[in-house]
Amino acid sequence: MLDNKTIILDIGYIEDTSNNHSELCPKDFKFNIKVIKLIKKILELNGVNVVLAQPLNFDKISLKDKIALEKEVKANGFISIQINKNLNNKFDD
């Protein structure tokens, strides 16, 4: 079903709003990185081209770049999979 497809894997991040301000929580990326590496490996072994939407270093994530990437993904018909530890998986065609 996914042969010769390109999938953009987008690792979700979690916001810490406990101090009334949003911050990225780097410690929560450990779970997502393990999951994304496993999914990437499985997909590649099944002939799917996998592109990471953002690097595995999450010190700085540009919202502008993320929005631009999402527009490009939708325009080119790629499949975007967002995985977030505390949210349901989100699959967009």
| Largest distance between two CA atoms of the chain | 46
Note the pLDDT of residue 93.
39
**Contacts of 30 by beta carbon, 8 Å cutoff, 6+ apart:** none
Residue 62 DSSP SS3: coil
pLDDT in the model for residue 62: 61
Q: Where are the beta strands (DSSP E) in 1-93?
A: 6-11, 49-52, 79-83, 90-92
Instruction: Please list the residues that pair with 81 across neighbouring strands.
Output: 9, 91
Q: Hey, is 4 helix, strand or coil?
A: coil
pLDDT at 43: 81
Give the per-residue pLDDT at 52. Answer: 74
**Which residue matches tokens 């911050």?**
23
Q: What is the DSSP letter of 2?
A: -
Q: What is the pLDDT of residue 91?
A: 42
How far apart (Å, rounded) are the C-alpha atoms in residues 61 and 43?
25
Q: pLDDT tens for the chain, 93 residues: list them.
A: 555 677 777 665 544 445 544 454 444 555 566 777 787 888 888 888 877 766 554 444 566 666 665 665 566 555 455 544 443 444 443
